[in-house]
Amino acid sequence: MIGVPYCGMRVKWLPLFYLGLALFLFTSTQSVKSQSVVEIPTDIKKEILKDVAIGEEFEKKSDFGQAVFHFNKSANVYWVYGYLDNAIELFQKALTLSERIGNDNGIYVLNTNIGLISVDKGENEKALKHFANATATARKLGRKNDVASSLLNQTNICYETNLINEALVFLNEAHAIAQELNDIRLLRNAYSLYTKVYDKLGNREESAKYFELFAAITKKIQQEEMKRKEEEANRLVSQVTSKIIEVEAEKQATQKELEEKQQFLEQAEQESRERLMQIELLSKERELQQAIISRHKLIQNIYIGIIIVILGFAALIFFFYSEKKKANRLLEQKNAEISRQNVEIQEQAEKLKELNQLKDKLFSIISHDLRSPLGSLLTLLSVTKEGYFTEEGFKNVIEDLSKNVGYTYELLENLLKWAQSQLQGTKLNPSVFNLIDATKNKLNIYSEQAVSKGITLQNLINDDISVYADRDMIELVLRNLIANAIKFSNDGSTVSVSAKQKDDWVEVCVADSGQGITPENLKKLFGKELFTTVGTRKEKGSGLGLVLCKDFITLNGGKIWASSTLGKGSKFFFTLPIKGPGF
């Protein structure tokens, strides 16, 4: 017996309403047939095996992101063709790797896929576990729509396994999220499940209530779909109407053209009749007009001859014009080639001029800066050999001599590196190396020099920062920048080396708290000409170090620049890539 009508429905419609509800519950509770297995075409099977092999290779290389992509791709193809065991095995491998790299979106999708396949296989307990994992991941991602979908999946399994109370817990939360999002499709699925759950609980009134809501929202979705299809149909009708108008316009144009041709044919026919009448008249007067006809033929031949001569002259003129045009084009190409060669010659001349200026500067350095320390050393050795120096006197001069020899060594090292790069070309040997180790080695070299000026050396680089570059070149850059920082720092100050990662680059900074650089001199750094000034203790320099720094950083794909505040110190920056090409 049917009880009191729900929501004010008329009694005479109740039998039809509950008949629809019964049909809905019957059809929705029928078990879904397992997906049938379809034979995989040979070419697609080869692609699947290829993707699996590629995924395994990426897994060996610890490139888990690419491995997940290829395993997931192969698993989806297996799923489409009904090979559920193969699909679930590859989805599981992809899920394990996604969990290792913390790919939450992949974890959600893969748990959902494994859950759906487990449902197809009748493994409800396993499916429930994976849907629960998918729900937790969706919550972590803050994607309420996915949370609701996973909860509805769990509701379905609990309903099928007669865990009705658990099903209601999942369903109530999913329904609340669907109402919050105002997602009518989620609401429709929730109402559908409410109808089935309350029917199984024997609560016909609640079941009928949610079936009515399900039917209403389904109708709304169908109306929206119909409206969308109607709009699409109107758009197509509009396009067809526009096309019809175009065809009609073309038809009218064609009709007009046919009428013009018909008129032309009628006029030609009229002219033909008139000519026939003239021919008949001429045939009757042939003897009389024979002389005239002969004369006309003669004139015609003369005209033809004149036309042939004119055409010949025209062809000759065209030939000479073409040849002249071809010659002009060739001349323009030659002029362009000469201009290009002139530009190259001028560039080479400028480069040669710069090299000559650099050569003169280097010869000046070699003749003065190298000869002076070596002369001092020879004089000291000669005086020491003659026995004029006491041990105490020797100690007094050995410090200055050590500084001169150290400067000479640095100068020779830079000169050799510069000469090697200019004469043989510089060959890069890039590799990935730890930046803190290279910096530590160079700071240790200058520790005694820093102690003599009371300067504190600081290595502020983190242990995990590595770069991809030629280590020998970068160590020379660090050596020159650290030496310059010490040279231009005041006694008792600090020189620090730091680095920070920016995207795919590492930015290194060598900072001092010395005398600083004037804006005018700052513009001269890293230029084509050598530039140098004396240090805080009158230490000398050649200016070649910064030239080498700029060349070596540029060769390694980076940039170098400096900033300074007069009286507060200077900072020298350069960048290096973290990875090489192909990484």
Q: Among 254-268, 402-416, 433-447, which stretch is predicted with the lowest mean pLDDT?
A: 402-416
Confidence band of 439 (pLDDT split at 50, 70, 90): very high
For position 8, what pLDDT does the model report? Answer: 32
Mean pLDDT over residues 446-458, rounded? 90
User: DSSP state, 576?
Assistant: E
Average pLDDT over residues 437-463: 91
Residue 510 has pLDDT above 90, yes or no: yes
Whether the Cβ atoms of residue 104 and residue 137 lie closer than 8 Å to each other: yes
Q: 138 CB contacts (<8 Å, ≥6 apart)?
A: 108, 144, 146, 147, 149, 150
Give residue-wise pLDDT tens across range 162-174: 999 999 999 999 9
Alpha helices in 142-203 (DSSP H): 144-160, 164-181, 184-201
Tell which CATH architecture fits domain 427-577: 2-Layer Sandwich (3.30)
pLDDT category at 532 given cuts 50, 70, 90 is confident
Residue 166: predicted pLDDT: 93
Q: 438 or 381, which is more confident?
A: 438
Answer yes or no: is pLDDT of 23 > 50: no
CATH number of 32-138: 1.25.40.10
Predicted pLDDT of residue 312: 86
Tokens at residue 178, please? 């669907």
For residue 210, pLDDT beyond 80: yes
Residue with tokens 């493994």: 123
Tokens of 546: 């910064």
Going by their DSSP bridges, the two strands 430-434 and 505-512 should be labelled as: unpaired
Q: Which pLDDT band holds residue 523 (cuts at 50, 70, 90)? A: confident
Where is average pLDDT lowest: 212-216, 245-249, 308-312?
A: 245-249
Mean pLDDT for 47-54 is 94
Q: Which tens digit of pLDDT belongs to each residue from 479-493?
A: 999 998 998 898 889
Residue 34 has pLDDT above 70, yes or no: no
> Taken in order 208, 213, 219, 225, is the CA torsion positive or negative?
negative
In the chain, the percentage of residues whose pLDDT exceeds 70 is 79
pLDDT surpasses 50 at 440: yes
Whether 128 has a pLDDT exceeding 70, the answer reads: yes
106: confidence class by pLDDT, cuts 50, 70, 90: very high
pLDDT tens-digit profile of 372-384?
556 556 666 666 6
In sequence order, what are the beta bridge partners of 523?
none
Task: Give, in order, the Cα–Cα distances in Å from 170 to each of 126, 147, 163.
Answer: 17, 10, 11
What is the pLDDT at residue 410?
A: 59
The whole-chain average pLDDT of the chain stands at: 82
pLDDT for the residue numbered 18: 41
Who wins on pLDDT, 397 or 180? 180
Global pTM value: 0.39
pLDDT computed for residue 268 by the predictor: 78
Domain residue extents for the chain = 32-138, 427-577
pLDDT tops 80 at residue 538 = no
What pLDDT sits at residue 9?
Answer: 35
pLDDT at 354: 58
Q: In Å, what is the CA distance from 562 to each residue of 483, 510, 511, 535? A: 15, 9, 10, 17
Range in 23-32, 93-102, 436-445, 451-460 with the lowest mean pLDDT: 23-32
pLDDT-wise least confident of 49-58, 210-219, 344-353, 407-416: 407-416
Q: Is the pLDDT of residue 138 over 70?
A: yes
Residue 503: left (phi > 0), alpha (psi -120 to 50), or beta?
left
Listed in order, strand segments (DSSP E) in 503-578 are 505-512, 560-565, 569-577
